[in-house]
């Protein structure tokens, strides 16, 4: 998902363009990894002093609903990142900087046999550690 396409999609779905939304999306576009609402707030406060958490969360969730961002829960806090372009995959997540690396192994094919009578709704496979830069 690139910035231009994300903004276009926003408009097409009938949502308004605001500088805050562009900056928020750009923030994620420029960072290949997961960030929290708090991270976003700190980044935004320079340009928009007094921006409220409400605005940030509202937009983050809107963007998740529109498929522009992805969300995962990490240590009791929601973390967001730009939606990946490529086909289904999982992530290594650096616990220091939040940067991610795509993992192209998905265990769900092998698993299906074990869950005959179950209705599977979704799954989560994440690997945590330190990236080369933070190690």
By the criterion CB under 8 A, which residues form the site for a second copy? 73, 75-76, 78, 92, 95, 101, 103-108, 110-111, 114-115, 117-132, 135
What's the rounded Cα separation, in Å, for the pair 134 and 40? 21
- Looking at beta carbons only, is 2 or 18 nearer to DNA? 18
Which structure tokens are listed for 11? 């408009």
Q: State the binding partner of 27 from a second copy, DNA, none, CB within 5 to 8 A by kind.
A: none
Q: In angstroms, rounded to a whole number, what is the distance separating the alpha carbons of residues 49 and 27?
A: 17
Question: Minimum Å distance from CB 77 to DNA?
Answer: 4
Binding to DNA, residues 16-75 (CB under 7 A): 16-21, 36-38, 48, 50-55, 57-59, 61-62
> Are residues 58 and 90 in contact, defined by beta-carbon separation less than 8 angstroms?
no
- As a dihedral over the C-alpha atoms of residue 130, residue 75, residue 122, residue 4, rounded to 10 degrees, the angle is -70
How far is C-alpha 80 from the geometric centre of its chain's CA atoms?
3
Q: List interacting residues with DNA (CB under 7 A).
A: 11, 14-21, 36-38, 48, 50-55, 57-59, 61-62, 76-78
């Amino acid at each position: 998902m690139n910035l231009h396409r994300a903004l276009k999609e926003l408009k097409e779905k009938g949502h308004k363009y605001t500088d805050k939304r562009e900056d928020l999306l750009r923030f994620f576009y420029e960072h290949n990894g997961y960030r929290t609402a708090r991270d976003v707030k700190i980044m935004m406060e320079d340009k928009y002093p007094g921006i409220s958490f409400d605005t940030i969360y509202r937009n983050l969730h809107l963007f998740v609903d529109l498929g522009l961002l992805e969300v995962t829960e990490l240590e009791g806090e929601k973390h967001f990142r730009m939606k990946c372009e490529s086909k289904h995959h999982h992530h290594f997540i650096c616990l220091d900087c939040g940067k991610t690396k795509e993992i192209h192994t998905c265990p769900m094919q092998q698993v299906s046999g074990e869950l005959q009578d179950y209705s599977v709704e979704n799954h989560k496979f994440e690997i945590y550690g330190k990236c080369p830069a933070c190690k």
